[in-house]
Amino acid sequence: SKDYPTGTHALKDVYLFIDKGEFVFVVGASGAGKSTLLQLISGDLRPTSGAVFLDDINLTRLSRLRRDRLRLVFGRVPQLSQLMRKRTISENLSAVAMLTQSRKLPPIQTRIQKTLAMVGLPDVGARYPVELSYGECRRVELARAIINSPSILVLDELTANLDEDTIWDILHLLCEI
């Protein structure tokens, strides 16, 4: 359950189990608690009561440092864009890519080029978010989410306000991933 200090009961007695490889779509009216649920799942929020588990690890009992480290398994697309307007698309992606540097992953520039190509935007690296359409920015947000090959994707309203062709392209890409 999650209650906000304003007295709003965002979620009450939710039980949800998601298996590996499963796609889950959370739908509901505006204000129904969808974004709150996604923030709880990814460890960005703590529940007022109850617990959130990831592979038998209780996220709500972890120290802030361990919780922050564990959150790297999540690739997120937030409801509101987090692209830095005064940075190029490559710089935006690089900032996220630097969070996970591993010998198992290709160099950052290679990952940037690969993820932009995956989302259908291979030539936008030198451009700024303001130069892109809303749909293109959402695809860049998806590139940010997948650049570090996370185990779990949490995508909040990724396809909202997009045309049908772009939605199908994104869903096809998600199925491939």
> Alpha-carbon distance 82 to 114, whole Å?
21
Average of pLDDT values for 118-131?
96
Residue 76 class from Cβ within 10 Å (0-12 exposed, 13-18 middle, 19+ buried)?
Answer: buried
Query: What Rg, from alpha-carbon coordinates, does the chain have?
Result: 17
DSSP 8-state assignment for residue 145: H
Q: How far is CA 101 from the centre of its chain?
A: 18
At 87-113, the pLDDT tens digits run 999 999 999 988 876 677 788 999 999
Question: What pTM value is reported for the model?
Answer: 0.86
> Alpha-carbon distance 16 to 37, whole Å?
10
At 143-177, the pLDDT tens digits run 999 999 898 999 998 888 888 998 998 899 898 88
